[in-house]
Amino acid sequence: MYDIFHELIKEIKNKYTFVKHKKTLFMKCILVTGMAGFIGYHLSKLLKSEGYEVVGIDNLNDYYDPNLKLARLQNLGFTTESISYNVPLKSENCTFYKLDLTDLENLKGLFEQHKFEVVINLAAQAGVRYSIENPHAYVDSNISGFLNILESCRAFPVKHLIFASSSSVYGLTEDLPFHEDNCTDHPISLYAASKKANEMMAHSYANLYDIPCTGLRFFTVYGPLGRPDMAYYIFTKAMLEGKEFDVFNNGEMSRDFTYIADIVESIKRLMPLPPKKNNIAFNAAKPSTSKSSASYQLFNIGNNSPVALMEYIKAIEKALHIKGKINFKPMQAGDVVSTYANVNSLFDYINFKPSTTVEDGIAAFVKSYKEYISN
């Protein structure tokens, strides 16, 4: 009886080892573009901590303070004193290249060298308001750069391409909460238009070359080491310095604020779940934007719980124990009053829901911000 039991346990262990090894094979090498950016950094940190082999690229541009980007890379274990273009930096199961998405030759060389199985494209020129002043930067990075990612995935096939879109694609629609099948034909900024273009470009490559593509429409991501151009960062900095800060539309706005840890956990769970061709789910007579006969899918990725902007500011005031000096202003061009994500499709697909409250998320940001500026 003992021998039978011993052999049964051995067989179970062998099966478990095989399944674990199979997962490791599928996730052998992952590319994260925009590794030094806000979401790219946190995703790389999560994947690195769980033993994935991660390669990251970033052009380290000066849209905001490059020192913050270098600090993120240092937190990933890289020595950043001497960074050279397209020369690898190494840390434990993590490699970084300073590389621009518009450099197709070197990008393809990277794909050929590393044989990526999963590509997560987070590199982009961000910022709705900045796109009004510097439109060419968005065409270069968000459209030409993304085309180069698609071409590289075509030349060196991957098992899953996950790419960043944005809630801004919903534009003028007031049909809340935003659902993936809502009309997205009325963008109100070039940034939004560039993200809409990314969705269409990815679909065409999924259809033509069977590249499994998942687009993620991010809703107001926040958290530690976030971007300095984001409202919560600006508010916190101003409060600590005793300065006034602008709040638009007289504060009568709401956002589906989503904590960074919930975002990157969702992406991690999506990696081994590429879309497949599905002629049954797609109705060519009445097509939807989120479903396709090609290996392509779109998801909102948000908290599914919009918060009034003034309540968000109160959470920052509470964390800082400071009353903000608010300068109310009218609505800015390219902005919207409310965002609110219907995320049922994503929750069902990955079996995960965000759980971080605004109070906890803001407290974590404030703590990290104070640590960052003290250093």
Nearest to 361 by CA among 319, 311, 317, 324: 319
Determine phi and psi for 2, rounding to 5 degrees: -60, -45
- Amino acid code (one letter) for 226: G
Lookup result for tokens 């903000």: 324
Phi-psi category of 134—alpha, beta or left, where left has phi over 0 and alpha has psi -120 to 50?
Answer: beta
In DSSP notation, 273-293 reads ------TTT--TTS--SS--S
**Quick count: other Cβ atoms within 10 Å of Cβ 4?**
8
Number of domains in the chain: 1
Q: Find all residues with CB under 8 Å of 253, minimum gap 6, and list them.
A: 308, 309, 335, 337, 338
CA 93, CA 179: separation in Å to the nearest integer? 38
pLDDT at 223: 97
The predicted-structure confidence for 131-165, as pLDDT tens digits, reads as follows 777 888 888 889 999 999 999 999 999 999 999 99
Nearest to 167 by CA among 309, 306, 362, 276: 306
- Amino acid code (one letter) for 144: S
Q: Let me know if residue 331 belongs to a domain.
A: no
Lowest mean pLDDT among 154-163, 246-255, 267-276, 321-330: 246-255
Q: Let me know if residue 3 belongs to a domain.
A: no
pLDDT at 22: 37
Q: Let me know if residue 322 belongs to a domain.
A: no
Residue 369 falls in the annotated catalytic set: no
Q: Could you tell me the maximum CA-CA distance found in the chain, to the nearest angstrom?
A: 79
Indicate the pLDDT class of residue 26, thresholds 50, 70 and 90: low
User: Has residue 172 got a pLDDT over 60?
Assistant: yes
Do the bridges between strand 160-166 and strand 30-33 make them parallel or antiparallel, or are there none, so unpaired? Answer: unpaired
The predicted-structure confidence for 94-105, as pLDDT tens digits, reads as follows 999 999 999 999
pLDDT at 214: 97
209 contacts 152 by C-beta, under 8 angstroms: no
The predicted-structure confidence for 117-133, as pLDDT tens digits, reads as follows 999 999 988 776 777 77
Question: How remote is the C-alpha of 96 from its chain's centroid?
Answer: 18
CA 191, CA 135: separation in Å to the nearest integer? 8
Q: Let me know if residue 57 belongs to a domain.
A: yes
User: Has residue 216 got a pLDDT over 90?
Assistant: yes
Determine phi and psi for 35, rounding to 5 degrees: -60, -35
Rg of the chain, C-alpha, whole Å: 21
Q: Let me know if residue 48 belongs to a domain.
A: yes
Q: Find all residues with CB under 8 Å of 205, minimum gap 6, and list them.
A: 150, 153, 154, 211, 213
Rounded mean pLDDT, 294-314: 92
Q: Let me know if residue 154 belongs to a domain.
A: yes
pLDDT at 355: 85
The predicted-structure confidence for 31-41, as pLDDT tens digits, reads as follows 999 999 999 99
What average pLDDT does the chain have? 88
Q: What is the CATH number of the domain that holds 21?
A: 3.40.50.720
Rounded mean pLDDT, 264-275: 97
Nearest to 149 by CA among 71, 32, 20: 32
User: Has residue 244 got a pLDDT over 70?
Assistant: yes
Share of the chain above pLDDT 70, in %: 92
Rounded mean pLDDT, 61-69: 92
Pairwise pLDDT comparison (269 vs 126), residue with the higher score: 269
Share of the chain above pLDDT 90, in %: 66
Task: Choose, from 41, 63, 97, 191, the residue flagged as catalytic.
Answer: 191
The predicted-structure confidence for 334-364, as pLDDT tens digits, reads as follows 677 777 788 999 999 999 988 899 999 999 9
Indicate the pLDDT class of residue 19, thresholds 50, 70 and 90: very low
Indicate the pLDDT class of residue 27, thresholds 50, 70 and 90: low
Domain that holds residue 80: 13-220+258-304+341-355
Return the top range by mean pLDDT from 122-131, 224-233, 303-312: 224-233
Indicate the pLDDT class of residue 17, thresholds 50, 70 and 90: very low
Q: Let me know if residue 326 belongs to a domain.
A: no
Pairwise pLDDT comparison (289 vs 69), residue with the higher score: 69
CA 203, CA 150: separation in Å to the nearest integer? 10
Q: Let me know if residue 250 belongs to a domain.
A: no
pLDDT at 24: 43
